[in-house]
Structure 1
Amino acid sequence: MSAPHLSPMQAPAFSSRTQLRGALQRLLNEAVADGIAPAVSCAVVLGGSELPVLTAGKAGPDTFFDLASITKLFTTITTLALVDRGVLELDAPIGRHLRAYSRGKKSTVTLRHLLTHTSGLPSEWKGWHTSLSEGRGFHRTELIADLLTLDLAAAPGTRFEYSCAGFNTIMALAEQVTGTPWAELVEYWVLERLATHDITGTPRLEHCAPTEYQPGLGRGMVRGIVHDEAAWSLGGLSGNAGMFATADGLRVFGTSLLEGLPGILSPTLAADMWRRQLPEMLGAHFTADEPGFGQGLGLRINQQPWMGDGGARARGHGGFTGTSLLVDKSKGVVIALLTNRVNPSRDGDDATGLRKSVSDVVYSFA
């Protein structure tokens, strides 16, 4: 069969896509060869066109990866959907619904504070570790109650501190107000509307890339169960972690973000999610060089270490397991990069260099 004839306008585009695929595949192959991760998968949208899913190592296009903190974007959209329906309010004190936040400095914490990491809560909640070390097992109701007693490390609105504890507090708030389990809220308000089976909080074990070997926690090799220990103690899918996806599934989600989350959020809230929030939230406490990047509602903005030199206007999120999602409306770019860099141990390369290299290559063709 002879090669198809390409017009002068078609040939360069075809050549560019082929070159981009080749450059990305080399990066993925090198990442596996260099021991950054045993499994890697990448899906890209460039100028409205999807590239085929690329994989390396022990991954195929249908391999599910633990998204880790990319889950926070699903949490953000789920709660904003409740704001859209008048169930929650962005700028009202959450103490209206959570007794533990009804007094003292915590009484001024709002959902917007939590979504922008300006609530004053510390980064982590270690109640799960206490329960485990004392042999009491995990009882979700007790753990949530313990989470909600966590003291603030700063007054609300006075500093930015990335907080997984804050996003699990969002989960507790949504469950309290709706009387509905968190996984059901995420499924109804986000996953059903995305209409893809390639994103889930309950993956089949045999389809999942393994994460960390944790015999000290009695978990052995973690696979198909959330890697994050706080989310694990809370039953799996939580406010801070617990979503799994294939690279193509995460690309579907990224494309929805790129297009303004049609059918999921109102245009007003979708735009507010994208907008820089820190100058407004921190007021006189905000300085131009701190924290060194922007923060929307849930979305991180211009994170140069991994979004790359061209990502000044990009939004997205990374995950501890070696995952990232970059979305750039100005360039029509979506990059879903998934690895299991914590397998068998978290002590290796954190995949920041790989994430940046992938971003830089894609932007060089944008």
Structure 2
Amino acid sequence: MMDAAHIVRKAFAPVSDAIQAGRIPGGVLAVFTNEGDRAIISEGQAQTVPSARSMHDDTWFDLASLTKVIFTTPKILSLAVDGHIDLDTPLISLLPDLRQYDANAWERKVTFRQCLGHQTPFPAVEPIYTYGRDPELLRAFILQCEWRHGSPVYSDINFILLGFALERFYGCSLREIELPRGFSFSADPMKSAATEDCTWRHKVMCGEVHDDNCYALEGAGHAGLFGTANAVLDFAADLMRDAHSPAVKLMRTPLSETRAHGFERPHAGWSGGDNCSTNTIGHTGFTGTGLWVDFDAGLSWTLLTNRVHPTRHFDSGIAQLRRAVGDLVTSS
């Protein structure tokens, strides 16, 4: 295997091209090998409007749905490994008031494992933030709503409910629960990559969560985490080191053709590219972030971009960019 510095220089080429073409403001790519070799590279702008700031290796990012796998999944799996919950029991073991007015509601039968693998009938998206500004009332709404029953799809509601379960177990808000080292639920705006010029908050989001529903709930299990590329790689290094621990084994255990517990696994067209081993897990975030860990190759990488800055309503080509970077990383 090439050294990490060579890999990161080679794999950054399509990121640099995307920046020069104006498809993304900036990006950071970091690579780690199981030999402890690490390299990082950054380019472009952390913010372009209303003023410009440069991107740096230590820029903080709104990690969006990487929250699901860096925070929520490990916490839920830790509860299972320690015997506090059974992954195959319904969420009502911690959320007894879920659809409490209908004992036969399908939502009361949904299990922790099904939520981790996005194997539930919840809708893909729901503008919960449009239903009010009181986070406690929004929590009550989510718990009592008669949700549309559809085919299993990737749904934030799965992890919103897992976040509620964590709050009930720990007896505090998610923002009071201990985080992995190097992460936070907010960041210094002057050290952060900006996200969207929000149409309903009327400002450019920077150091404050981009996800509308997470913002309205004042913390949720599907989004909200901030961190740097080095923090994300530290988390990946821990996964590689603890590859045979019960929790990480579960993260690698398939639940479907495309998903494991929390993480996504390689399949045709997936974000990690075509060269990953079958023993790879990864996940992406809406703001333009991603993390991938190939246990067979002893290789992990994170690509962090601010592709939604200043707007999400633009074809940044992020899906193709992630795959191109993954192919270059793993071909090394």
- In the superposition, the TM-score normalised over structure 1's length comes to 0.80
Shift in CA distance, 275/343, structure 1 to aligned 2, threshold 3 Å: same
Deviation, 1:240, is 0.7
Q: Which moved more, 1:74-83 or 1:64-73?
A: 74-83
Structure 1 residue 243, shift from structure 2 partner: 0.7
Q: 1:48 to 1:38 in 2, by over 3 A?
A: same
1:62 aligned partner, one-letter code = D
**Contact (CA 8 Å) 2:294, 2:300: kept in 1 or not?**
yes
Q: Which residue is 2:51 aligned to?
A: none
Do the aligned residues in 2 keep the contact of 1:299 with 1:317 (CA within 8 Å)?
Answer: yes
Structure 1 partner of 2:221 = 239
Which residue in the other structure is 1:135 paired with?
A: none
- Provide the rounded CA distance (Å) in 2 between the counterparts of 1:124 and 1:260: 34
1:5 matched residue in structure 2: none
Indicate the structure (1 or 2) with the bigger Cα radius of gyration: 1
Instruction: Establish whether residue 75 from structure 1 lines up as the match of residue 58 from structure 2.
Output: no
Q: 5+ residue gaps in structure 2?
A: 46-54
What is aligned with 2:118?
117
Q: SS of the counterpart of 2:39? A: coil
Is structure 2 residue 178 aligned with structure 1 residue 229?
no
> Counterpart of 2:313?
347
Paired position in structure 1 for 2:171: 179
Task: Name the aligned partner's letter for residue 54 of structure 1.
Answer: I
**Deviation for aligned residue 1:302:** 0.7
1:209 corresponds to: 193
Aligned residues: 315
Instruction: Within 5 Å, give how 1:246-261 maps onto structure 2.
Output: 246-260=228-242
Contact 1:40 1:55 in 2 (8 A): yes
- 2:4–2:31 contact (8 Å) kept in structure 1: no
* C-alpha displacement of 1:118: 1.2
Q: Which moved more, 1:304-313 or 1:16-25?
A: 16-25
Residue 247 of structure 2: aligned partner:
269
SS of corresponding position for 1:326: strand
Where has structure 1 moved over 6 Å in runs of 4 or more?
A: none
Percent of counterpart pairs with the same letter? Answer: 27
1:270, distance to aligned residue in structure 2 (A):
2.2
Shift of 1:25: 3.5
User: What TM-score comes out, normalization by structure 2 length?
Assistant: 0.88
Q: Given the superposition, is the C-alpha separation of residues 342 and 94 from structure 1 closer, same or farther in structure 2, using an over 3 Å criterion?
A: same
Determine helix, strand or coil for the equivalent of 1:52: strand
* Residues 319-365 of structure 1: CA deviation (Å, up to 9, x unaligned): 11111100010111101110000001112214111111111111111
Partner of 1:153: 148
CA contact (8 A) 1:70 1:324 kept: yes
CA contact (8 A) 1:94 1:101 kept: no
Matches within 5 A, 1:107-146: 107-131=108-132, 138-146=133-141
Distance 1:93 1:258, change over 3 A: same
Residue aligning to 1:90 = 87
Runs (5+) with no aligned partner, structure 1: 1-12, 132-137, 279-292
Distance 2:94 2:237 in 1: 34
2:31 to 44, 50, 54: 44
Superposed counterparts of 1:2-81, under 5 Å: 19-58=6-45, 59-73=55-69, 74-81=71-78
Name the Cα RMSD after superposition.
2.0
Residues of 2 paired with 1:101 and 1:260: CA distance?
38
Q: Decide which structure has greater helix share.
A: 1
Q: CA deviation at 1:101?
A: 4.1
